[in-house]
Structure 1
Amino acid sequence: MDIEFVRSRFIKHFDGETGNVYASPGRINLIGEHTDYNGGFVFPGAIDKGMIAEIKPNGTDKVRAYSIDLKDYVEFGLNEEDAPKASWARYIFGVCREMIKRGVAVKGFNTAFAGDVPLGAGMSSSAALESTYAFALNELFNGNIDKFELAKVGQATEHNYCGVKCGIMDQFASVFGKAGSLIRLDCRSLEYEYFPFKPEGYRLVLVDSVVKHELASSAYNKRRQSCETAVAAIKKNHPNVEFLRDATMDMLKEVKSEITAEDFMRAEYVIEEIQRVLDVCDALQVGDYETVGQKMYETHHGMSKLYEVSCEELDFLNDCAKECGVTGSRVMGGGFGGCTINLVKDELYDSFIAKAKETFKAKFGRSPKVYDVVISDGSRRLV
C-alpha cells in the first residue's frame, strides 16, 4: 500500500493541503476458531495488508470523505441523525459517533483512504478501516483513549452502525498487532500475551476458495446454540462451568446420553480447539513449527467433520496441501467458504501454489486467489 498514492488523491480532492497519514492492518488467525463465544482463546496477528487514510481537520462540523478504491465521495455531519447512506461511510461515521460517546471532541475533517486487504477473504478489511479512524481521531482530537478502548470503538461501530454482532478479535488484532508476534487473547478475561512468530524457512500463505455460502449466519447461530446446550447439561454436574472453556472432555462424556450426537460433536470440537491454541503457543516458544502445522491440520479436521463448517472447496485445498507436504493447513475464519491458511516450507511453495491453482481450476472451473502474508505492526501514524 502506497502512502504517496493516497496523498496524491487527498491533495487532488481537498485543495492541495496535506494532513496526517495513518494505517491499520487486516489480520489472520493462526488457530482458534469458534472459541471466542465459548470463553476460549484466539490467536491472531496483524498482517502487511491494510488501510491507509490521510486526515486533516477542516474547521467545520462536517466530515468530507473520499473512498479512493470506490471513487466515491460523501459528506456527513457528526450528529446521530446525520448517518450517511453509503455503507463504507457508515464505518467512518460510526467511529466518529463512538469516539464522541466516549467524550472525545471530534470535529469535522477531510479524509481520503484506500486499502489492499482483499474484500471477502476473511482478513477483516472493515476492522482495519475502523481501527485506522479510531487511532487517528484519538490522536487528532486529543482523546487519551487507551488501545483496548480503541478496539472496542471499532467493535461498537459494527454493532451499532453496521448491523454486525462481531466479537472483539478483529479490531483487537488490528490495533495491537506487532511485527514478528502473534497475540493470544483470552476472550473471557480479555488478557493477552504476545508469542514469537518468526517462521524462518517457512511462508504463510492464504488460498482463497472464492466461495461464499448464504447459510452462514443461521448455521453459525445453530452451532452457538449447540455449545450452550452442552454447557447447560455439564453445569448440572459441575456448577462452576460457565463456558465450554471451563469444561473437559471427561465432563462432556458424562452428559453424552443427555444431549444430541450433533451437540456432542460441536462441543467436542470446541474443547479440543481451545487446547490446541495453548499447544501451539507452547510450540512457538521453542520454535517448533512442525507441531504448529500438525495442530492446524487437526483444526481443519475438527471444523470439517465435527463442527461441519467447511465446504467441498476448502476440504479440497486442505487435501492438496497435505499431498504437497505443506507443514500446516486449515480453513480460516468461521467457515462456509473463504480461505485456507497454510504454513509452507520455502522450497515447497512454488510447487504447492502451482498444484493448488491447477487442480482447483480443473475441479471447480475457476482459479483460487493466493495471498502471501507477513505478520506486521498494528495501528500507527505513518506521516
Structure 2
Amino acid sequence: MDIEFVRSRFIKHFDGKTGNVYASPGRINLIGEHTDYNGGFVFPGAIDKGIMCEIRPNGTDTVMAYAIDLKDRVEFNVNDPEGPKTSWARYIYGIVQEMKKRGVDVKGFNTAFAGDVPLGAGMSSSAAMESCFAFALNDLFGDNKVEKWDLVLAGQATEHNYCGVNCGIMDQFASVFGKEGKLMRLDCRSREFEYFPFDPKGYKLVLLDSVVKHELASSAYNDRRRSCENVVAALKNKYPNRKIETLRDADWDMLDSVKSEVSDEDIKRATFVLGEKDRVLAVCDALTKGDYETVGKKMYETHEGLSKDYEVSCEEIDFLVEIAKAHGVTGCRIMGGGFGGCTINLVKEELYDSFVNDAKEKYNEKYGREPKVYDVVIKDGSHKVC
C-alpha cells in the first residue's frame, strides 16, 4: 500500500493538514481448517497486503471518514447509539464503540483509508480494517493502554455486534499479532500462541483465486459443525468420567469406539478434524527444522481430508490442486471455509512461472476464466507507519 497515495487523498478531502498513518495486514492460514470451533489449533500469518489509514483528531465528537477505494464519505457522532447504515462505515463505528467500552476516550477524527487485500479471496479485509482502526484509536486516544488482545477482541466484537458476522478470533489475531517471517500457532481454546519461523528460501507462497463461491456454504458449514457436535455427544455418553468439550479432547481409539453410535458422515467429519489436529503439530515440528517438504506434504493431506472427508472443496478447487500436483508444487490446499475461494501454494521458485502460467491457461480452457494470482509474503501485524 502506497502511503503517499493515502496521504494525498486525506489532504484533498479534509483541511490540507496531515495526521498519523497506520496499517494492518490481511492474513493467510497455512494449515488448520475447521479446527477453531473444535477447540483446536490454527496456523495463520500476517501478509504484505492490508489496510492503511491516515487519521487525525478534529476536536469534535464527529467522525468524518472517506473510503478512498469506494470514493464514498460518511460522517457519524461517536456517541450516536445507532451509527451509520453504510456497511463499510459500520466497521469504523463498531471499533469506536468497542474501544470506548475498553476505556479509550475516543473523540471525533478525520480519516481516509484504502486497502489492497483482495475482496472475497479469504484474506480477511474486514479484520484488517478493524485492527487498523483499533490500533490507531488506542495510539491516538488511549496512550496505548489497551493490550493487543483487547484490540483483537474489539475487532471480533465489532463483527458480532455491528456487522452481523459470528466470527472466531483467528483473523483479527493474525492481523494484530503478526510478525515478519513468522507464522503463529494459536490455540483457539486457551488463546495461547507461539511464533514459528517461516522463511522458505527458494520457495514462493502464492494464492490462486478460483473466483468461485458456491451458495451452499453457510448451510453446509452448519451441517459440519453439527456433525462434530454429534460425535462429541456420543463421546461424552461413552466416557462420562472424562472431560470432553470438543473433538480436541478425543483420540483415534475414542473415535473408533463410537463408530456404531453416530452416522458414517459424522465419523468422516470427525476423522478430518482429528487428522488436522495431528497435521498442525507435525507442521510445527517441520517449520522448526526448516523442513518445507514435510510442510507441503501436510498441506496436500489437509486438502485431501477437506475434499473427501469434510467435503468442503469443489470441482474448481480440486482442479487447481491437481494442476499443482502435476507441476511438482511442494504443497497445495484449499484455504478457508470451502466451496470456492483460493488454493494456497508453496512453490519452488524455479517452478513458479510454469505453474502459474499453466494453471491460468488450463483453468481458462475448462471454466472460461483465469484464476486470480496473489503472491504473498509474511509481514508484520498492526503498526504505526508515521
TM bucket (normalised to shorter chain) is: over 0.9
Matching of residues 220-239 of structure 1 within 5 Å: 220-238=221-239, 239=242
Q: Deviations over 1:177-210 (max 9, x none)?
A: 0000000000010000000000000000000000
* Partner residue, 1:256: 259
**Separation in 1, partners of 2:338, 2:258:** 27
**Separation in 2, partners of 1:349, 1:236:** 51
Offset of residue 85 of structure 1: 1.2
**Separation in 2, partners of 1:111, 1:32:** 36
Q: Which amino acid aligns with 2:333?
A: R
**Separation in 1, partners of 2:159, 2:353:** 38
SS in structure 1 opposite 2:114? strand
Superposed CA RMSD in Å reads 0.7
Q: Which amino acid aligns with 1:225?
A: R
Q: 2:61–2:79: 8 Å Cα contact kept in structure 1? A: no
Does 2:26 correspond to 1:26? Answer: yes
Offset of residue 82 of structure 1: 4.0
SS in structure 2 opposite 1:133? helix
Offset of residue 102 of structure 1: 1.3
SS in structure 2 opposite 1:240? coil
Relative distance call for 1:107 and 1:241 in structure 2 (3 A) is: same
Does 2:204 correspond to 1:198? Answer: no
Q: Which amino acid aligns with 1:90?
A: R
Q: 2:52–2:113: 8 Å Cα contact kept in structure 1? A: yes
Runs (4+) off by over 6 Å: none
SS in structure 1 opposite 2:81? helix
**Separation in 2, partners of 1:144, 1:262:** 48
* Partner residue, 1:310: 313
Offset of residue 80 of structure 1: 4.5
Q: Which amino acid aligns with 2:198?
A: F
- List gaps (5 residues or longer) in structure 1: none
**Separation in 1, partners of 2:82, 2:235:** 48
* Partner residue, 1:95: 95
Offset of residue 237 of structure 1: 2.5
Does 2:152 correspond to 1:148? Answer: no
Does 2:351 correspond to 1:342? Answer: no
SS in structure 2 opposite 1:211? strand
Does 2:179 correspond to 1:178? Answer: yes
Offset of residue 78 of structure 1: 1.4
* Partner residue, 1:109: 109
Q: 1:80–1:97: 8 Å Cα contact kept in structure 2? A: no
Alignment: residue pair count: 383
Q: Which amino acid aligns with 2:303?
A: H
* Partner residue, 2:296: 293
SS in structure 2 opposite 1:81? coil
Q: Deviations over 1:43-67 (max 9, x none)?
A: 0000000000000000010000000
- TM-score normalised per structure 2: 0.98
Does 2:274 correspond to 1:275? Answer: no
Q: Deviations over 1:121-148 (max 9, x none)?
A: 0000000000000000001002511001
**Separation in 2, partners of 1:83, 1:218:** 30
Percentage of matched positions with identical amino acids:
73
* Partner residue, 1:65: 65
SS in structure 1 opposite 2:347? strand
- TM-score normalised per structure 1: 0.99
**Separation in 2, partners of 1:336, 1:87:** 25
Which deviates more, 149-158 or 228-237? 228-237
**Separation in 1, partners of 2:19, 2:214:** 41
- List gaps (5 residues or longer) in structure 2: none
Q: Which amino acid aligns with 2:336?
A: G
SS in structure 2 opposite 1:349? helix
* Partner residue, 2:331: 328
**Separation in 2, partners of 1:215, 1:237:** 33
Q: 1:76–1:82: 8 Å Cα contact kept in structure 2? A: no
Matching of residues 359-378 of structure 1 within 5 Å: 359-378=362-381
* Partner residue, 1:357: 360
Q: Deviations over 1:24-78 (max 9, x none)?
A: 0000000000000000000000000000000000001000000000000000111
